[in-house]
Structure 1
Amino acid sequence: MTNYTRESLLKRPFNDFRHYPYGFSRSGDFSIRESDALTQYGCLIAALLRGDYQPVNSEDQALLAAARGEQAPVSVVEKAWAKYQARIHRPKVASMYGKGKFADESFSSGSVEGSEDDLIVED
């Protein structure tokens, strides 16, 4: 396990190329202040959550508690991290067409003969 210092973690920019390949500022999900906060403090929060870095002051403890959900986010950094977590863990949007086949088995595109729901119009 590598020993990290707070200064080294704050100097390292945080990027999530899997979810935000063009960066936080170009995604449209975050404001400029939020994207700057994520870029600057993201490595520190990630190291706190992994256990690679132990909190040494009250700010680190507040960041860790807010990141774990133990307290409500108060600062811009805590709110930005909560928003980031909500964005990357949101449910995936399914296709409105389903799996490519009709999900309802009663619908058949073949014969119309056995259907009782046919509308009959007489003149």
Structure 2
Amino acid sequence: MNGVNMSVMTKEQVVGKLFVDKKNYPYGFARSGDFSISESKLLQSTGGLFAALVDGHITPENDEEQSYLESALGHREPATPQERVWLKYQRRINRPKAASIYGSQKPILEDGDDGSDTTISDNSDLDVDISD
């Protein structure tokens, strides 16, 4: 090609479509339980702009977009609802994954202990009267 960076998008390409995250929110933001309806709408309408700014696909064209970028990168506190919902989205998708409640293997204990400690109480000697 003639030296044009093909990974750079135009702002119109980014803003013209709704932001979706099929990987983390396959049924949409509104149905996830993580976001209110208004937050979902904000995220769908401005999420693509935030993602493109953070990923470097577009450069900020005005003070508002520069503020979005600074907030998204953690250089300042979020000041607008759009900035707050973007940071909430980032916290949700980057939270630690919950481990299985069943576990995957027996924990390794120190000193060859087999885990059969008899000092652990299972509270089976408690008297509970549920006939109230």
Scaled by the length of structure 2, the TM-score of the pair is 0.74
Unmatched 5+ stretches in structure 2: 1-5, 120-132
Q: Which residue in the other structure is 2:17 paired with?
A: 12
What SS does the corresponding residue of 1:17 show, helix, strand or coil?
A: coil
CA deviation after TM superposition for structure 1 residue 33, in Å: 1.4
Distance 2:10 2:115 in 1: 65
1:44 and 2:54 equivalent?
no
Instruction: Please provide the CA RMSD for this pair.
Output: 2.2
**Is residue 23 of structure 1 aligned with residue 28 of structure 2?**
yes
> CA separation in 1, counterparts of 2:101 and 2:31?
28
- Aligned residue number for residue 121 of structure 1: none
For 2:114 and 2:8, locate their aligned partners in 1 and report how far apart those are by CA, in whole Å. Answer: 62
Q: Percent identity?
A: 45
Match of 2:69 in 1: 64
1:92 aligns with 2:97: yes
Query: Which range moves more in the overlay, 91-100 or 68-77?
Result: 91-100
- CA–CA separation in structure 2 for the residues paired with 1:75 and 1:102: 46
User: Amino acid of the residue matched to residue 100 of structure 1?
Assistant: Q
Q: TM-score, normalising length from structure 1? A: 0.79
2:55 counterpart letter in structure 1: R
Determine helix, strand or coil for the equivalent of 1:72: coil
d(CA) in 2 for partners of 1:16, 1:35: 12
Cα distance, 1:74–1:94 mapped onto 2, change above 3 Å? same
- CA drift of 1:90 comes to 0.5
Residue number in structure 1 paired with 2:106 = 101
